[in-house]
Structure 1
Amino acid sequence: MKLRILKPCALSLLFVLAFHPAFSESTDNRTRQLPVEFRGVWVATVTNIDWPSKRTLSVEELKKEALNIIELHHKMGMNTIILQVRPSGDAIYPTNLAPWSVYLTGKQGNAPEGGFDPLKFWVDECKKRNIELHAWINPFRASLHSTDSLTENHPARLHPEWVVEYNGKLYFDPGIPEVRHHLTEVIRELVRNYDIAAIHIDDYFYPYPATGFVFKDSASYEARSEEERHLSIHDWRRSNTDKFIMEASAAIHAEKAYVKFGISPFGVWRNKSEDPRGSDTRAGVTSYDHLYADVVKWAHQGWIDYVIPQIYWSSRDKAANFLKLAQWWNDNITDRHLYIGHGIYKINGTQENWDDPNELKQQILFSRSLRNVKGSAFYSHNHFLRKNNNLNQLLEDSLYRDIAAVPPMEWLQNKARPEPVNNLKYKRGLITWEAPRGANTTGKPLRYVVYIANESGGEAEYITRSRVFKPESKTMPGRGRFTIQVAVMDADNSISEKSEVLKIRY
């Protein structure tokens, strides 16, 4: 059954219903449990990769494109959008800490017309469809080109002493404490001002190595503290990214304890030839040695909440094999959530070993077979709009046909499981219930999971913010006698016990 968005009934005009039916194996003798799986897609704004398509769009065109993206992925069963909100020292939201992005309005520093806040729009529209919005930032990239014209309030112009020019680009030096503090404040402001589900950082910490170029941070290395005097420049650089991650994590969870912190690192942590703990790979670049990102340590220390390694190789690659790498990450990220990043941009491309039309299906199924993997993410949106071996149909009609909630993180909750609903009843063709006693249903409405099972074995689930559900042909799996139960889903994706059983005839 395809996803449907139903219009609110007359008794629930204050709520927006976003229903997505699903079918899966029963785990309950009355109604089955709601599956949990991370299903994410990256939406890149840098150089207008995914959104907006052009730098000259009107506000209405910006909204239309955003809605098309959200609807497409909602229809395919995604539950998370990872939106790039700070692509290059700039922002797609109003802030005094960075100028407006050139990719949004065509000129850095120019605001969209009429006070439009793109990030708020994305958050609001995703929430209507029960999709999490993860705010993706590139913290240390100051500008894609050293010759770019930067506004007067760009941090790189305000603080040229923070900047290192490398391979024709500008970077903020992670070794400068003031840089790390500034970036932590950027993150703190995002979490405070927006109802985002997570802060997300990708693989860019120190820049990727380029032949013939040296990252000139010797001055900040020489100025390192006494406690760091014994460190080599490589260990010192890793220490700098460690500090940033630790400080950012503390800032996020101090603002809102339930907001997650995720990293999507380069897909190889270290090669086994360099470290017996590493993977059976021959990668020319590694996250630990070249980007100075010790993501495994960050997860073990509890500084981050999830990891999405970018395993952008095929299952037949020799130097870096998808199957071997997914297994390696599964074996080494055991303290925090692990999702797998898939490089769908390589489908039907020129790279070797990407000619198998079943490659992505095999990757997803293999990832699902691993004990510690809890989902997948796909880079990036635009590659769902071209020939991609029918990936859209594979997800919508098969692998993501069943609705799934984002996996809850018990270490972020620090509270009791949500209380169940009360007074479930069926009257005048409507199923209604009451929120748990003491629940805040105005400032931050709860979501509800409606479980439906019929006597023939057909089942469906729906997620809604309303406390009214109307049985009709497009929401009920067939005809006959039905068992109905309802559960509460809170902001952390924790699900309450199911309600008492309601039996109806439809």
Structure 2
Amino acid sequence: MRHFLIFSLLLTSLIGAAQNPKREFRAVWVATVKNIDWPTKPGLTTRQQKEEYRRLLDFHQMNGMNAVIMQVRPSADAFYADGVESWSRYLTGESGLAPDPYYDPLTFMVDEAHDRGMEFHAWFNPYRAIVDLEEMPEDSTHIFYEKPEWFVQYGDRMYFDPAIPEVQDYTVGLIADVVDRYDIDAVHFDDYFYPYRIAGVEFPDSLSFASYGTDYTQETKDDWRRENVNKIIKSLNDTIKAVKPWVKFGISPFGVWRNIADDPRGSDSEAGQTNYDDLFADVLKWMDEGWIDYILPQLYLHREHPKLSYTKVLKWWNALDYMGHLYVGHAVYRVGSEREDGAWMNPEELPEQIKISRELPNVLGGAYFSSKSFFNNELGITDRLRGDFYRTPALVPTMPWLDSSAPATPTELVIKNDPSGVLLSWNTEDSTTRNYVIYRFDGKRIGDFNDPENILRVVPSSSPFYLDKTARKRKRYTYAITALDRMSNESEPTFVRFIKVKPPK
């Protein structure tokens, strides 16, 4: 009986893997605030920071991820050089203190991600300024001290006041600077706009409402707040596309726009707070207006949750008429946690969520919060991704409204036997190439280029060669190469080459 169960699990895994898509967004959030994911603690040496980050990316590459969502501005601070804001305390242990030996973390992080064929989404928190009032910035030039009139206290945190026009311009400007100076693939916001409500405590924006809300009444103050956020979303999208038209703009909001009890367009949910009514984030408007390239709702509760069912709410998002990409945010941090609802002790909960997302035609992938949760492999979830759902590589879905032109086909593919396997080399003269996709087919035949089972590896454009160490001696293989640009548009394949692997002499 035991052997039968093991066989059944293996068969189920193989059947699931055979259905894996060739194109799918597979991302992981890497949070820097409070050193949640990276660096593991403030004040590590430059060498230690780099080693940790490389290990993190290598680990997630093995997990099948093709994108990293990296928090570069956790709280009015910077994980990059020469910006308008202070160095982050979560990097060096003290706000305003540069890394020593000096390096630019963002340049390093982007390059390392691209070297592994992964997209880099730069994650900014637009309004959060001070996370803990007991840990005030040490740097006297911190923007909080330079412009105290821009900030309000809500609970035990400080926030930029979203209503102040100078704040809106400042935020858009600092992000535009990063877009201009760094080779990032996307700008990413999470769910923090106006802060989540504190029961019985009103957000303290009466002064800014008196100054900038003269066209509104107290009864329509919420509309004014939503418009404050709308302005920055539209302005930021316009600015990003003016600086670099290919850089994506994506947002990962709380999972519920509005409950159906409050709006017939809302989801079948009973969320205690919603984007529209409490965070003043009208995400449907941003989608309708085409201001964002992808939406990634955080659906962090289980499939059968009585008030916010993963299944019901994701189906609601899937049914929306949206020209951009829809991804889904997964709560990997809940898996196997005894502090969570008992459903998260079921090892099939998250795998079943992935299956549901793949059954919905408009859901093109997902992201996981957060990086560190995979290292413990709770309930075998990391093994499940590697051995099943993400066993085969996936290319990031294309965004033809940004760019639909494929790069030129690589040329001069040469393959030859090597003592360690099969050595491939090729050429290209197209500067738009970001990565190469290496296809390998068994035997002397051309297989299906749309089947990810045939993708051997995705390698960066800096490496127009590859040593296939997995080739088995005395077997016959057929190889082909395609090129990908930064938008993951794929070229036609090279002329295929056939080889019989010879045993070493």
TM-score (norm 2): 0.88
**Residue 348 of structure 1, CA deviation:** 2.1
Choose from 339, 351, 364 the match for 2:340.
Answer: 351
Choose from 469, 477, 493 the match for 1:482.
Answer: 477
Checking the alignment, whether the CA contact within 8 Å between 2:121 and 2:184 is kept in structure 1 is yes
Choose from 94, 119, 124 the match for 1:132.
Answer: 119
Equivalence map 1:41-190=2 (5 Å): 41-150=28-137, 151-190=139-178
Q: Which amino acid aligns with 1:366?
A: I
The C-alpha deviation readout for 1:33-67, integer Å capped at 9, x for no partner, is 98111111111111111111111311111112111
Checking the alignment, whether the CA contact within 8 Å between 1:201 and 1:264 is kept in structure 2 is yes
**Residue 165 of structure 1, CA deviation:** 0.9
Where structure 1 has 5 or more consecutive residues not aligned to the other structure, the ranges are 1-22, 27-32
**Residue 231 of structure 1, CA deviation:** 8.1
Q: Tell me the equivalent position of 2:392.
A: 402
**Residue 232 of structure 1, CA deviation:** 1.2
Q: Which amino acid aligns with 1:487?
A: T
The C-alpha deviation readout for 1:159-194, integer Å capped at 9, x for no partner, is 111111111211101111110100001110111111
Q: Tell me the equivalent position of 1:212.
A: 200
Other structure's SS at 1:332 match: coil
Checking the alignment, whether the CA contact within 8 Å between 2:24 and 2:364 is kept in structure 1 is yes
The C-alpha deviation readout for 1:300-353, integer Å capped at 9, x for no partner, is 211111111100000121110011111111112631101110111112222223
Other structure's SS at 1:81 match: strand
- Counterparts in 2 of 1:85 and 1:69: CA distance versus 1, 3 Å: same
Checking the alignment, whether the CA contact within 8 Å between 2:191 and 2:254 is kept in structure 1 is yes
Checking the alignment, whether the CA contact within 8 Å between 1:333 and 1:372 is kept in structure 2 is no
The C-alpha deviation readout for 1:388-443, integer Å capped at 9, x for no partner, is 11111001111101001111111111x5322222333445764333315xx22xxx
Other structure's SS at 1:232 match: helix
User: Is the aligned partner of 1:495 residue 2:490?
Assistant: yes
Q: Tell me the equivalent position of 1:468.
A: 465
**Residue 481 of structure 1, CA deviation:** 3.0
**Residue 147 of structure 1, CA deviation:** 4.6
Greater displacement, 71-80 / 352-361: 352-361
- Counterparts in 2 of 1:423 and 1:116: CA distance versus 1, 3 Å: closer
Checking the alignment, whether the CA contact within 8 Å between 2:410 and 2:426 is kept in structure 1 is yes
Larger proportion of helix = 2
Where structure 2 has 5 or more consecutive residues not aligned to the other structure, the ranges are 1-15, 448-452
Equivalence map 1:170-249=2 (5 Å): 170-224=158-212, 232-249=220-237
Distance 1:229 1:253 in 2: 34
- Counterparts in 2 of 1:115 and 1:304: CA distance versus 1, 3 Å: same
Runs of 4+ in 1 over 6 A off after TM superposition: none
Q: Which amino acid aligns with 1:203?
A: D
Checking the alignment, whether the CA contact within 8 Å between 2:406 and 2:484 is kept in structure 1 is no
Distance 1:247 1:110 in 2: 31
Distance 2:85 2:327 in 1: 31
The C-alpha deviation readout for 1:91-122, integer Å capped at 9, x for no partner, is 11123411111111111111110222222221
Checking the alignment, whether the CA contact within 8 Å between 2:377 and 2:383 is kept in structure 1 is no
User: Is the aligned partner of 1:369 residue 2:359?
Assistant: yes
Q: Size of the alignment, in residue pairs?
A: 470
Distance 2:266 2:133 in 1: 35
Distance 2:417 2:351 in 1: 45
- Counterparts in 2 of 1:405 and 1:387: CA distance versus 1, 3 Å: closer
User: Is the aligned partner of 1:252 residue 2:245?
Assistant: no
Q: Which amino acid aligns with 1:434?
A: N
**Residue 477 of structure 1, CA deviation:** 6.7
- Counterparts in 2 of 1:478 and 1:190: CA distance versus 1, 3 Å: farther
Q: Which amino acid aligns with 1:77?
A: G
Q: Which amino acid aligns with 1:367?
A: S
Q: Which amino acid aligns with 1:57?
A: L
Distance 2:288 2:83 in 1: 34
Q: Which amino acid aligns with 1:386?
A: N
Q: Which amino acid aligns with 1:324?
A: K
Distance 2:473 2:170 in 1: 57
Distance 2:287 2:164 in 1: 24
TM-score (norm 1): 0.88
Greater displacement, 236-245 / 347-356: 347-356
Equivalence map 1:386-425=2 (5 Å): 386-413=376-403, 416-425=405-414
Q: Tell me the equivalent position of 2:450.
A: none
Checking the alignment, whether the CA contact within 8 Å between 1:205 and 1:292 is kept in structure 2 is yes
Checking the alignment, whether the CA contact within 8 Å between 1:487 and 1:499 is kept in structure 2 is yes
- Counterparts in 2 of 1:96 and 1:125: CA distance versus 1, 3 Å: closer
**Residue 250 of structure 1, CA deviation:** 1.2
Higher relative contact order, structure no. (Cα contacts within 8 Å, ≥ 6 residues apart):
1
Distance 1:486 1:38 in 2: 22
Greater displacement, 478-487 / 196-205: 478-487
